[in-house]
Structure 1
C-alpha cells in the first residue's frame, strides 16, 4: 500500500498570523514541503511573500477552498503529489474559511493523503478588541487540534489566561500555545496524528466579508500613506500588500486598526482590502490612497 502524504490544514481569522507562521516554518523545517494557498482576494499577496523560499507552492484564489473551490482543491492536491511528492503538504485557508467542510472533503475524497492535524491561529489582541466569537471563527476553533494564541505580546498577562479559558470553552481537546509572531517549535505543528472523524457540515458557507484590490506603478509619500493607513479603520478590517516608497518597497500589513511596514523585495504597489460591506466605500478609500502619490 502506498504511503499517504501527511497534510496539515492551517486556518484562523483574517490577519491572525497564518502567513507569518508559514514564513517561520519555511526557515525551520528541513522536510520537503509543498504549500497550497487559498487567498480571499484577486491578488495572491501571501503567495508572493513566500516566493523564492525554496518551496513548491500552488495557489487557489478567487473563492473559498471550503466551498466553491473544493473541486479545484482536490485537483491541486493530486497534481502536487504526482509532480512534487512532498514529505508534507500544508494547506493555508483564507481567513473567512470554515475548515469543517474542507476536513470532511479531505477524509472522504483524498485517500492519498492523511490529515495530520488542523492548526488554528488566533489573534490575541483581536480577541480582546472584538470579543464576540462569530460563526466562522467558532468553527475554526472547534475544528482545531492545535491552537496558537498569537500576538500575546500585545495584551496583559491576565487577559491571556482569560482567552485561554475562553478558547477551551469551545474546544477542550486542542492544545493551546501562546506565541509571539508565531514563533513555535515546528515539531509541535507536525506529527499530531488527528484521530477524530469530521462529520459532514450541515450548513451553507456564507462569507461575511467583501474584498477589492488595487495595483499601481506610483511611488507613495510615506507620511501621507501613514495617515491613509490610520484612516482605514473601522471600514476595513484587513489590508495587505506591497507599497512603493522612495526608499523602496515595503510589505504592508493592516489588521483591525493595527498596521506595520516591513522592507521587502522590489515590487509594484499591489494592495488587497477586506471588510464588511466595503464595496460602497471603495472609491473613497482609493481616492485617499491616490492622494498620496508622489508626482
Structure 2
C-alpha cells in the first residue's frame, strides 16, 4: 500500500505573513513540495509571488476553501498526487478561512493524504493593535498544532508575553514559535503527525471583509503613491500587489498601517485592497490612486 502524502495546512488572519513564510520554506527546505493556495480577492497576488520558484502549484480562487470550494480542493489534491507525486503538500488558506471544516474534510475524504499538522501564523503587531480576537481568528488559533508568532520585532517584550498568554488561553496544546518575516527552521514545522479527532464543524462562514482590485499599465509617481498609502483609512486592513515606478516594479505589502516595498519581477501594476465597509470608500481610494499615474505604457 502506498504511503499517504503528508499535507500541512497554513492558516492565519489576513496579512499575518503566510505567503512570506511559504517563500522562506521554498528557499530553505529541500523537498518536492506542491502548494495549493486559496486567496481572498479577484487577483491571485500570492500565487504570482510564489510561482516560478520550482514548485508545483494549484490556485483555488473565487471562494473560500473551507466551504464553497471543498469539492475543488479534493479534486486538486488528488490530481497533484497522481501527476507529480510530491514529497509533501502545503495548503495556504485565505485569511478569512475557518480551518476546522478543511481539517475535517482532509481526514474524512482524502484517502491519499494524511494531515501532518496545522500551522497558524499570527501577526504580533496586529495582536497589539487589535487585541480583541474575532471568531475566525479564534478558530484558526484553536486549530493549530504550531502557532508561528510572526513580526515579533515590531512589539516589546512585555507585549510579547501578553500575546503569548492570550494564545495559550485559547490553545494550550500548540507549540508557539517566534519568527521575524516568517524566518524559522522548516524542520520545526513539518513531521508533526499529531493524531487528532476533528468533529464535524458547525460552519457559520460570515466573512467580515470585502475586497476590490485595481490593474493599470501606467507608471506611478513613487512619492505620490507613498502619500496615498499613508493616507489610507483604518477600514483598509490589508492591501497587497505589484506597483510600477520609473525605476521598476515592486511587491507592495500593507497590513494595519504598516507597509513596505520589495523589488520584484512582474509585468504590471496589480493591487488588491481588503477591509470593511469598502463600498463607502472604494471610489475615493481609486480616484486618489489614479492621481499618482504618470503615463500609460499602452
Per the shorter chain, which TM-score range?
over 0.9
State the match for 1:145 in structure 2: 145
Query: 1:165-216, CA deviations, whole angstroms, 9 ceiling, x for partnerless residues?
Result: 1100000000001111111111111000021111111132111111111110
Which residue pairs with 1:87 in the alignment? Answer: 87
CA–CA distance in 2 between the matches of 1:84 and 1:198? 29
**Equivalences for residues 52-63 of structure 1 within 5 A:** 52-63=52-63
User: Comparing 203-212 with 134-143, which one deviates more in the overlay?
Assistant: 203-212
Q: Quote how far apart the aligned CAs of 1:62 are.
A: 1.0
Find runs of 4+ consecutive structure 1 residues off by over 2 angstroms: none
For 1:197 and 1:77, the matched residues in 2 are separated by: 21
Is the CA contact 1:8–1:118 (under 8 Å) kept in the aligned structure 2? yes
Partner of 2:291: 291
1:263 aligns with 2:259: no
Q: Are the aligned partners of 1:244 and 1:269 in contact in 2 as well (CA < 8 Å)?
A: yes
Query: Counterparts of 1:149 and 1:231 in 2: how far apart (Å)?
Result: 28
Residue 227 of structure 1 corresponds to 227
- What's the counterpart of residue 169 of structure 1? 169
Is the contact between residue 233 and residue 256 of structure 1 (CA under 8 Å) also seen in structure 2?
no
The corresponding residue for 1:70 is 70
Match of 2:182 in 1: 182
Scaled by the length of structure 2, what TM-score is found? 0.98
Question: CA offset at residue 276 of structure 1?
Answer: 1.2
Q: Once the 2 structures are TM-superposed, how far is the Cα of residue 281 of structure 1 from its aligned partner?
A: 1.5
Gaps of 5+ in 2: none
Match of 1:45? 45
What is the Cα deviation at residue 2 of structure 1? 1.6
Query: Mind listing any 5+ residue stretches in structure 1 that lack a counterpart?
Result: none
Asked if 1 retains the 8 angstrom alpha-carbon contact of 2:101 and 2:203, the reply is: no
| Correspondences of 1:204-283 after superposition (within 5 Å) | 204-283=204-283
Task: Tell me what 2:105 maps to.
Answer: 105
Aligned residues between the structures: 295
8 Å contact kept, 2:123–2:149: yes
Looking at structure 1, the residues matched to 43 and 267 of structure 2 have their Cα atoms a distance apart, in angstroms, of: 13
2:32 corresponds in structure 1 to: 32
RMSD: 0.7
Q: Name the CA distance, whole Å, in 2 between partners of 1:83 and 1:75.
A: 12
Counterparts of 1:150 and 1:50, CA distance in 2: 19
CA shift at 1:83, angstroms?
0.6
Instruction: Please give the alpha-carbon distance, in whole angstroms, between the structure 2 residues aligned to 1:80 and 1:156.
Output: 43
Q: Using the alignment, how far apart are the partners of 2:253 and 2:162 within structure 1?
A: 27
- Per-residue deviation, 1:280: 2.6
